[in-house]
Amino acid sequence: MRYFVGAVTCRWKFRFCGWLITVLFLMLLMLAACTEVAVEVIDNRANYSTGRETIGVVDANGTRALTIQGFASAAVYDLLDVTHHVTIIGSNGSVLRDLNYRAAQLQSNGSHIDYIAGDGVIFNNIAGVMADGPEISITQVYDYARYFLGNNERVMIILMDGWGWEMFQYFEHLQPFLSGKNPQPALAAYPPITPVSLATIITGQLPNVHGINSRNDRMINDGVTDIFALASDLGRNVVYIQGHTNPISTSVMPIFSLAVEGSYATDDVVFENARRNLDADFLFIHFHGIDDNAHAYGPYAIEVGEKMAQLDGYINYLVDNWGVGYVIIAADHGLHPVYDNPGRLGDHFKVSHEDMIVPFVQFRVG
């Protein structure tokens, strides 16, 4: 009887062990499913919106949307083709460059994705990561202007709305003047829309500091000074030339340039207003036509190339007649193609190479 009970007990032990192993195996499968990292490759025929558990991932292989499900993590080095550094872009517009990316992780906390740097520093709620992002940023427009103005130099800033780096390269042959000035790629602000990047350009601060984070924001945060106020405080003759409206509130009132239907487009009037004010000590000019055409026809349409050619000629004239001083030329964002909206064939709102990399030029005249 003792042997029988022992045999039954042993049999139940084996059954229990087998059941336990099966349960553990199923739990491991469930854990693996929960920690799976789904990477969707995005080509230029698709759009995605960054936010929550989806971020933009940009490297030499293109732009992808990365979704991390549950409370899982993924090694940055396994996801990006990186040579030198990773640029991390926060949802609030902040920017961090990480040289120790080999040990970095992307971590989902269930509502958004964080970047955990190799040294353990956590960058919360990111919008995207970019492999080997540009060393130059559009914040440097302000830095250069402040330096030149402080050295009693005249300064002309030209903002080319929608002049993306890839668009510039595509139509470089139609822009002989600007191509000859050695443009460099620069990082725009996030989100890559006009009010946000304009505020970044004129303050030298990122959106998490200047406070413009959407098209609905118009007031720069208290304590943040724009370049117009700086130039005015230095006693300079300041002229700010806009299109038909001012995207954000600035310390000086712009000269508005209203199109004349059937005769003059907005950029024609912007150019004429700029031409009349070439005696200013500080001249800021905002051209809009590239962005308008890229939205309507797509960023690589011939209408965009024609507008770039026109503005190349306008800028050549303005520079030739500027006299002595410094010229800084940059853009607020680029555009990516859209194929599912016949009324809007180009757009800009996400972390992508097309939207967030723009040309940057600065040189001395005279």
Domain that holds residue 186: 136-365
> Tens of pLDDT along 7-53?
334 444 445 455 555 545 445 444 444 444 443 333 333 444 555 56
Q: Does residue 147 sit in the same domain as residue 249?
A: yes
Q: Which residues contact 233 (CB under 8 A, 6 or more apart)?
A: none
Give the span between the Cα atoms of 182 and 180, in whole angstroms: 6
> Tens of pLDDT along 181-195?
999 999 999 999 999
pTM: 0.87
Q: Residue 345 falls within a domain, yes or no?
A: yes
Structure tokens at 13: 């032990």
The 10 Å CB-count burial string (b at 16+, else e) for 146-160 is: bebbeeeebbbbbbb
Q: Does residue 119 sit in the same domain as residue 147?
A: no
Q: Residue 29 falls within a domain, yes or no?
A: no
HSE-CB at 306 with a 13 A cutoff on CA atoms is: 7
Instruction: Answer yes or no: are the C-beta atoms of 355 and 291 closer than 8 Å.
Output: no
Whose tokens are 């799976």? That residue is: 36
For the chain, the average pLDDT equals: 88
Give the span between the Cα atoms of 56 and 192, in whole angstroms: 13
What's the CATH number where 236 sits?
Answer: 3.40.720.10
Domains held by the chain: number:
2
Q: Does residue 190 sit in the same domain as residue 61?
A: no
> Tens of pLDDT along 250-276?
999 999 999 987 678 999 999 999 999
Give the span between the Cα atoms of 14 and 297, in whole angstroms: 71
